[in-house]
Copies of this chain bind each other. A is one copy, B any other.
Amino acid sequence: MRPPTRTGNLVSPLPAPGSEEHFDTLLARPGLRLERIVSHLHASPPGFWYEQADDEWVLLVQGEAELAFDDGKVLALRAGDHVTIPAGCRHRVARTGRDTVWLALHVTPEATAPDS
């Protein structure tokens, strides 16, 4: 029997603020990837849009943020909010506060055969 593994704490310690967001993969399996993202006053570059092949379930663990979508909709998120962003849904990070921590679960879309 494999023992349990304490894999860490999502909010402590945080990486020192830098010019880029920090991405850490916590768990990766065929068809899924779980990652922590740490933002600190970051935003996506002007005009940049994420347009992902995977569905994404994302939780704002700590801090504050705004997600913008290309239909003009903006979602203001506070700690505990979670959002599902379907594959192909163009979005960007419009704003983040200090020490903002996300948990993102990327999963292969349903009814789409994984292509490798």
Contact = CB atoms under 8 A, between A and B. Distances in A.
A67 B4 contact: yes
Q: How many copies does the complex hold?
A: 2
A53 interface: no
Contacts of A40: none
Interface in A1-31: 1-12, 26-27, 29-31
A100 B85 CA distance: 27
Interface residues of A, number: 45
Contacts of A88: 1-2
Given A3-B71, A105-B105, A10 B59 contact: yes
Given A27-B107, A32-B32, A107-B27, A86 B1 contact: yes
A49 to B, nearest CB: 12
Contacts of A31: 29-32
Contacts of A107: 27, 29, 32
Interface of A: 1-12, 26-27, 29-32, 34, 57, 59, 61, 67, 69, 71, 73, 75, 78-86, 88-91, 103, 105, 107-108, 110
